[in-house]
Amino acid sequence: MTPTTTMITSKAPTILPLSKIPLQFSLQVDSLAPSCVEGQYLPLFFYPTPQHGELLQTRVNHQFEFRVKAVASFSRIIDVIISGPLNSTKTKTTTGEYVINWTPTQENYGQHFPFCFIAEGQYMSDIYQSEMRCIVAEVISEGPVVHVTCSANSMSVTIVRSSIQNLRGDQLRLIDPSCQLYSNSTDVYASTPLNGCGTTLEETDNELIFKNKVTTFDNPQDVTSRINLELEIMCAYQKTNNIRQEFGINKSPIRISDKSFGTMNYHFEFYPSNSFQNMTDPSAYPLEYNVGDMIYMKIEPDYPVPNTELFLESCMATPYDTPSYPVSYPIITNGCNMDESVQVLSSHTPYVEFEMAAFKFTGFQDQVFISCSIVICQADIPNTRCSQGCLNSTVAPPSHNINKREAPIETDSYFISQGPLRLKRSPSQVTVNLGLNVNLAAVAGSLLAITAVICVVILYTSRIRNPPLLSHDF
């Protein structure tokens, strides 16, 4: 029998072309980086950049925001490239932070949206990129109904009571604990000047942005809370010289009330020389300095207070007008100079004059505020905080308030701040690329008219560290 041969054939699968239009690609290969250590030539992510894999919650119809900042010693950060949902926007502040915003709609409820980003640094003609980080935004239900009204010198917030479930006005406050909200039968509301109640100022190339927060606490005397609510309110104004002066960036004096010393107003000002004559005009803020310039500062009362002396307990530089900001540079701590350029030019007087070199605090920030803690004492009294002066960091500072009632010879510590100060930049440093890659995310935005304002409310955001990265179509 003749053997039978069976032939098995298979048809190759049809492969559809990616495109019927010829495609051309261009690839540029950069030279090797002189160093692979992050933070030298390769950009290094820095606070407040979220960690890789963080899960952030946002609410329907409310703006979601996160910030990216990168630093490098030798290269210059020129851009942050973002991949995220459509209608994401990116702006750059004058302190070098990239602010990413996105507003989810009702159709996005219950979904997870990834945002991935890298930072680019430039050294001469070479471009260096950071690691890539990705975070996930989870869209949860719509939150409190909030309305923000912006005027020429104040902002007001109104919260619909029925949307915050049994919270009273006396359980809510602004950043400054003394600024509480009030309520009626339908709403909870508050109004704050642009330079009051802890309001902070942020600046972009085109806008001045004022921000505050509505937070909760169980008792008006408490600073902590078990009620989980936080609202950020914001007013953005187009930057013009007239409006800049109207806002009063130069801060007003602080009022200190003490039963032993009475009520005193202290103000913090900058001067052009160590003669401390003719303080710098408030309309000149933010003040600009060259690297190495000396900065002359003075804290004094509106009117001399007899038989008192002012002690500079601490000073620090922060990128925002918030002494508790986690990124700071210590200038004076426990009465001791932490920077070799600092000189306190007066002592045991009702005022304090001091100076320091500009380059010592600028670092990676091109704008800073100076915040100081001061104590007022009766003059020529031993064992007060003022008479003790510098206390070595290895020695705990005295609890100078313990016996305050028995011996009312000094006040508590009070914070006073002023700014912003800015390092002068060359034209090449001022130019930055603010555009998003159109293939990664859409850029939305428009310039405001001089009298126009933007009112934005950002709801409470919770962070969950290092969850599994969730996927979603871009």
The three-point CA angle 314-318-320 to 5° equals 130
Higher pLDDT, 175 or 71: 71
The pLDDT of residue 169: 66
CATH 2.60.40.3210 in the chain: give the residue spans: 146-246
Beta strand 287-289 with 414-423: parallel, antiparallel or unpaired? parallel
| Domain 44-142+429-464 CATH (choose: 3.40.50.720, 3.40.190.10, 3.40.50.1820, 2.60.40.10) | 2.60.40.10
The pLDDT of residue 198: 81
CATH 2.60.40.10 in the chain: give the residue spans: 44-142+429-464
Residue 221 has a CB neighbour count (10 Å cut-off) of: 7
> Residues 370, 425: contact at Cβ < 8 Å?
no
For 251-424, CATH number? 2.60.40.4100
Cα-based distances in Å from 179 to 26, 173, 421: 58, 6, 27
Cα-based distances in Å from 441 to 64, 71, 85, 251: 15, 23, 6, 39
CATH 2.60.40.4100 in the chain: give the residue spans: 251-424
CATH superfamily of 146-246: Zona pellucida, ZP-N domain (2.60.40.3210)
The pLDDT of residue 239: 66
> Mean pLDDT, to the nearest integer, of 190-217?
80
The strand ranges marked E within 380-452 are 414-423
pLDDT reading at 12 higher than 50: yes
pLDDT tens digits for 398-424? 444 444 434 458 888 888 888 888 776
Percent of the chain whose pLDDT exceeds 90: 26
Distance CA 128, CA 34 (A): 10
pLDDT reading at 44 higher than 80: yes
Higher pLDDT, 209 or 385: 385
Helix, strand, or coil here: 25?
coil
Distance CA 342, CA 337 (A): 6
The pLDDT of residue 13: 66
* Structure letter (DSSP) for residue 38: B
- Joined together, the tokens standing for residue 407 give 């011996």
The pLDDT of residue 321: 72
pLDDT tens digits for 300-346? 988 877 888 999 999 988 877 777 776 778 899 999 998 888 999 98
Higher pLDDT, 259 or 446: 259
Higher pLDDT, 52 or 26: 52
The pLDDT of residue 236: 82
The pLDDT of residue 251: 65
What are phi and psi for residue 63, nearest 5 degrees? -70, 130
The pLDDT of residue 7: 55
The model's pTM? 0.49
Residue 399 has a CB neighbour count (10 Å cut-off) of: 9
Distance CA 437, CA 422 (A): 30
User: Please, where are the H alpha helices in 204-323?
Assistant: 241-247
* Structure letter (DSSP) for residue 180: B
pLDDT reading at 394 higher than 90: no
Higher pLDDT, 45 or 181: 45
Q: 């190759």: which residue's tokens?
A: 12
